[in-house]
Structure formats: structure tokens, C-alpha cells
Amino acid sequence: MTILTPIIAAHQITRRFGNGALETTVLKGINVEVAAGEFLAIMGKSGAGKSTLMYQLSVLDTPSDGSLTIAGVDVQQLDETEKTAFRLNTLGYIFQNYALVPDLSARENCMLPLLMRGLSHQEASDTAATALTSVGLGHRIDSLPALLSGGEQQRVSIARAVALEPKILFADEPTANLDSVSGQAVIELLTTLHKNGQTIVMVTHEREYALGCDRILHMEDGQITRTEQLTK
């Protein structure tokens, strides 16, 4: 599938680990394009390379070969500091293990990247409160992560990501540590965000959660074996 104005354009992405005889190629010349506003799921068995692909697309890792353009920027030209700034200003992340700072309240966790972007303390606090309210945690904004359930923590993680209004939201198995009810709630949140125009790339191994996406990339042995276009 060719997209006229892809927000992500990855060509011949290869990722190798190790050297010499121990070298392993985890991604083998992947070509992916993601349209603005698309909800893309990446699925595959364990070891298929789906998470590794997401790390390349989300600028958390650097491909061994290939080219990657995100929102018009050739990200391989950026140094580490620039990549950090690029992630802050362009991308949002939801991690499998929620990835919240345990010493900070839900509000402060959401405030961190906002403060880093230059918002005043009050602006960041208000924006964080709004984001938390939008994920149904308006009553827990000053709670520490340890006092929240897994589902609530993941919703804080989503609030932190969406508070930044990122161009692309990456979710790495966001339901993996959740029970089915909480998992479904997280997926519903992501679906709502997508309906509001948010571009989302999600890695999951649960097909039922991927069914709400626009497209599913099926991976096996470091290659995309099948693209499944979902009709709604």
C-alpha cells in the first residue's frame, strides 16, 4: 500500500545485533508507511521482531540500515540530544509497564514532559489535570502510582502521552499487564483518541485488541509477512 503523505516512511529498515559469527538480523529490510491519523497494529509471535520494529519507528533505537522519515524529518541524521528533543516534541509513548516515576503523583508524571517543553508550572499542572480527567482519572490526579491499580497507571501513562498532543502515539503492548476489563478500557481510550485524529502505532499480540485498528501488520522472523486492512 502506498500512502500519498505518510507521517512515517520507513524503507528497507534492517536491525542487526552482535558482530561476526554472533551477528543476528532481527529486522530484514522492512518497508512501512503510516498515514497521518491511521491506527496501525503490529502483531506477531514472540521474537518476530514487532517490538524491535516499533523501537525503530519511535526513534528509541537506530536501524542498522535503511531510511526513516517521521513527520518530514530524516531522524537518522539526528544526534542523541536532538532525538530526545524530537521525541519530546513529536512523539508520545505508552509502555507495557506503565513507566511512571514512582516518586511523582499522577499529575506530576503528566507534567514532566510539559515542563520540559517549556510550559509554566501552572499551565503544565492544568494541562495534566485535563488529560487525566479525559482518561477518567480526575479524582486520582494527586495519587502516587503505587496507590493506583494497573489499569489506572496505564491510563496515567496514556494521559502523559496525550497531554503533549503528539503527532504519533506509540503503544508497546499497552494491555499486556492488565486484566481483560482494564485492557479493554485502555483500548477504548486509544480508539477514542484515534477517532479524534490521533495517529497511533500499537504493538500487541492479542488480536481482539487489534481489531479496532485500521490496519494490522503481521510479522514473522523479522519480516512483514502480511498486511491486513480492516474495514469498519
Partner 1 sequence: MVLSPWRESTRAKHYNCKNNMRSFRVGLLLGWRQLQRASLWTTGLIVFVMMITFLNLVAVSGILVGLIVGSERAFEQQSIGSVTITPLDTEDYIQNSDVIANILQQTPGVVDFSVRYTSAGSITADYRSRQSPNDEPDQISARLTGIDPTREDAVTRLSESVVEGDYFLPDDTNALLIGILNLERYSENFPDFTNSLTAAFPGDTVLLTIGSVSQEFVVRGIVDSKVGDVSSAIFIPERELRRLIGRASDQADRIAVRLDQAVPPERVQSQLDQAGLADSAKIRTFDEALPKFLIDIKNTFNVLGTFIGSIGIIVASITIFIIIFINALSRRQQIGILKGIGIDRRAIEIAYVFQAAVYALAGSLLGVLIIYGFLIGYFERKPIDFPFSDGILVAEPLTTLTRFCVLFVITLIAGFIPAWMIAKQNTLNAILGRN
144-173 mask for partner 1 (x: CB under 8 A)?
A: ----------------xx--x---------
Stretch that binds partner 1, among 34-42, 102-110, 207-215, 219-227 (CB under 8 A): 102-110
The three-state (H, E, C) secondary structure of 42-97, written as one string: EEECCCCCHHHHHHHHCCCCCCCEEEEEECCEEHHHCCHHHHHHHHHHHEEEECCC
Q: Whole-number minimum distance, CB 62 to partner 1, in Å?
A: 9
Q: How far apart are CA 198 and CA 117, in angstroms?
A: 20
Residues 64-83 that bind partner 1 (CB under 8 A): 69, 72-74, 77-78, 80-82
177 binds partner 1 per the rule CB under 8 A: no
How far the first Cα of the chain sits from its last, in Å, is 18
Give the strands of the sheet with 6-17, arranged side by side: 24-35, 6-17, 65-70, 73-74
Cβ–Cβ under 8 Å, residues 32 and 217: yes
Q: Whole-number minimum distance, CB 216 to partner 1, in Å?
A: 24
Residues 16-75 that bind partner 1 (CB under 8 A): 55, 60-61, 69, 72-74
Say which amino acid occupies 27. L
Q: Which is nearer to partner 1, 2 or 77 (CB)?
A: 77
93 binds partner 1 per the rule CB under 8 A: yes
Among 12, 25, 64, 89, binds partner 1 (CB under 8 A): 89
107-126 mask for partner 1 (x: CB under 8 A)?
A: -x--xxx-xxxx--x-----
The grid coordinates of residue 142 equal 494527586
Chain centroid, CA 141 distance in Å: 23
Give the relative orientation of helices 150-163 and 180-195 as an angle to the nearest 10 degrees: 20
176 binds partner 1 per the rule CB under 8 A: no
Under DSSP, the state recorded for 127 is: H
Among 18, 20, 102, 197, binds partner 1 (CB under 8 A): 102
140 binds partner 1 per the rule CB under 8 A: no
Residue ranges binding partner 1 (CB under 8 A): 55, 60-61, 69, 72-74, 77-78, 80-82, 84-89, 91-93, 95, 99, 101-104, 108, 111-113, 115-118, 121, 160-161, 164
